[in-house]
């Protein structure tokens, strides 16, 4: 627990990106995205369009979702071009 | 060398706006911020924000989502605050205390740009500070509960202009801030949309390479305030471009250029019906209002086409 004495004057935050400590994944209510690797063309649009940086990419290739931060908005699933008409991201019911 | 604008190369860059921010699920503002910062990935940047959704949600208590130096002062003065920071930078550079090439970007909402922050924006641009001002336009004061702003489109339902028997949503026209900024005679003014991300990033990149005041207005859907689905932010911004509600153009040294011309201009109805804030327009007897909106959009689009033709540099060989 942070007390007022721990906060630098002027409400300056010295640690860049400290919001990462807040796991917004708990906001997901009904749905969570599911990645289907065989339909993925690694276009990385989901990485770009994700408001919560929850799509991990390594060396230009897509990796699994980061469910710690994903709020389940579904933009990735809607925008996914997929392969031969089959989506690489679908929304499925959230399991708690 | 500048990082090429393709997703494979950009994904190797650090995203300087982290997860863990408290913006709503499906908000387009963090997408816009991500795109702007990725386009500027070759430079150290300093960002200022005015009060708004982005500011309150990216910086709560001791948690910040920013990985760049970031400053918030008040609602009305992001441009003035950043002017001061930029002046200090120039003074230190002159004295040889800083040798880095730093870019200054203000990212503010439409309330902090169209209305409350308008005088400080206009002043900073007129004084010619070397900064890029990005307005993420979601068309109302979403943070405080969807009150109308100068950017709210005509006939949109908000909590301070509720659609009912007395008024059909916002009775007035929306302010065209991009044109107002172009009238300041700035070296670079543009309008962009996250659905057309290469265009957006090219504009940001072009702007930061130009010295002097620059302005980019970016369309930013808000599912909470627009009463739409959480997954349609990008789809709605695409529709806004294709219906010419939000034309993509730039004004560089007085020369207007439309950067994306929709192949088939779609009727505005398609954009309206996806949003709950326009649902009253689909009640019987309100067809006139949709026609009126279509007329307004057509008139603006025609004017923009004429402006492009009028300002385009004439090829002397053809004269």
Residue A5 resides in a domain: no
Nearest residue in A to B16, CA atom? A17
Domain membership flag for residue A1: no
**Among B24, B17, B26, B25, residue whose Cα is nearest residue B49:** B17
Q: Say if CB A41 and CB A88 are below 8 A apart.
A: yes
CA atoms within 13 A on the CB side of A44: 17
In a domain, A79, yes or no: yes
ipTM at complex level: 0.94
Is A32 domain-assigned? yes
User: Rounded to a whole number, what is the distance in Å from the CA of A22 to chain B's nearest CA?
Assistant: 5
Q: How many domains does chain A have?
A: 1
Parent domain of A70: 25-93
In a domain, A29, yes or no: yes
The CATH number covering residue A44 comes to: 3.30.70.20
What are the helix (H) ranges across A1-96?
A: 45-49, 75-79
pLDDT by residue for chain B (319 residues), tens digit each?
A: 789 999 999 999 999 999 999 999 999 999 999 999 999 999 999 999 999 999 999 999 889 999 999 999 999 999 999 999 999 999 999 999 999 999 999 999 999 999 999 999 999 999 999 999 999 999 999 999 999 999 999 999 999 999 999 999 999 999 999 999 999 999 999 999 999 999 999 999 999 999 999 999 999 999 999 999 999 999 999 999 999 999 999 999 999 999 999 999 999 999 999 999 999 999 998 999 999 999 999 999 999 999 999 998 876 555 4
Q: Within a domain: residue A2?
A: no
Integer Cα distance of B64 and B50 in angstroms: 15
Which pTM was predicted?
0.95
Q: Interface of chain B against chain A, CB under 8 Å?
A: 7-8, 10-12, 15, 17-31, 34-35, 58-68, 194, 197, 223, 229-235
A86 found inside a domain:
yes
Non-local CB neighbours of B256 within 8 Å, separated by 6+ positions: B182, B249, B250, B304, B307, B308, B310, B311, B312
Please check whether residue A64 lies inside any domain of the structure. yes
């Amino acid at each position: 627990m942070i007390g007022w004495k721990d906060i630098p004057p002027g409400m300056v935050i010295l640690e860049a990106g400290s919001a990462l400590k807040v796991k917004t994944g708990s906001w997901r209510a009904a749905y969570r995205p599911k990645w289907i690797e065989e339909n993925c063309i690694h276009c990385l649009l989901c990485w770009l369009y994700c408001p919560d940086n929850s799509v991990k990419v390594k060396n230009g290739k897509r990796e699994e979702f980061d469910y710690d931060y994903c709020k389940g908005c579904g933009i990735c699933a809607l925008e996914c071009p997929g392969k031969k008409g089959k989506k690489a991201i679908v929304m499925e019911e959230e399991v708690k | 060398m500048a990082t090429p604008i393709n997703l494979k190369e950009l994904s190797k860059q650090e995203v300087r706006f982290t997860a863990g921010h408290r913006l709503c699920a499906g908000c387009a503002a963090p997408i816009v911020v991500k795109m702007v910062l990725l386009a500027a990935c070759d430079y150290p940047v300093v960002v200022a924000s005015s009060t708004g959704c982005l500011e309150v949600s990216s910086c709560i208590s001791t948690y910040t989502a920013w990985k760049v130096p970031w400053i918030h002062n008040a609602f009305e003065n992001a441009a003035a605050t950043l002017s001061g920071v930029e002046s200090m930078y120039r003074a230190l550079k002159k004295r040889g205390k800083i040798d880095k090439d730093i870019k200054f970007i203000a990212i503010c909402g439409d309330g902090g740009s169209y209305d409350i922050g308008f005088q400080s924006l206009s002043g900073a641009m007129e004084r010619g500070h070397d900064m890029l001002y990005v307005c993420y336009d979601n068309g109302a004061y979403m943070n405080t509960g969807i009150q109308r702003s100068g950017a709210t489109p005509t006939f949109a339902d908000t909590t301070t202009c509720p659609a009912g028997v007395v008024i059909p949503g916002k009775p007035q026209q929306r302010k065209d801030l991009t044109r107002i900024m172009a009238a300041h005679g700035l070296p670079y003014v543009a309008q962009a949309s996250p659905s057309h991300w290469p265009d957006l990033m090219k504009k940001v990149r072009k702007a930061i390479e130009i010295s002097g005041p620059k302005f980019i207005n970016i369309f930013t859907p808000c599912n909470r305030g627009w009463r739409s689905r959480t997954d349609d932010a990008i789809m709605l911004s695409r529709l806004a471009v294709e219906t010419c509600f939000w034309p993509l153009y730039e004004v560089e040294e007085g020369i207007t250029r439309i950067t994306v011309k929709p192949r088939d201009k779609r009727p505005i109805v398609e954009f309206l019906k996806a949003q709950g804030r326009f649902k009253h327009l689909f009640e019987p007897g309100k067809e006139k209002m949709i026609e009126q909106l279509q007329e307004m959009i057509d008139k603006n689009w025609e004017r923009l086409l004429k402006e492009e033709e009028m300002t385009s540099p004439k090829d002397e060989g053809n004269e």
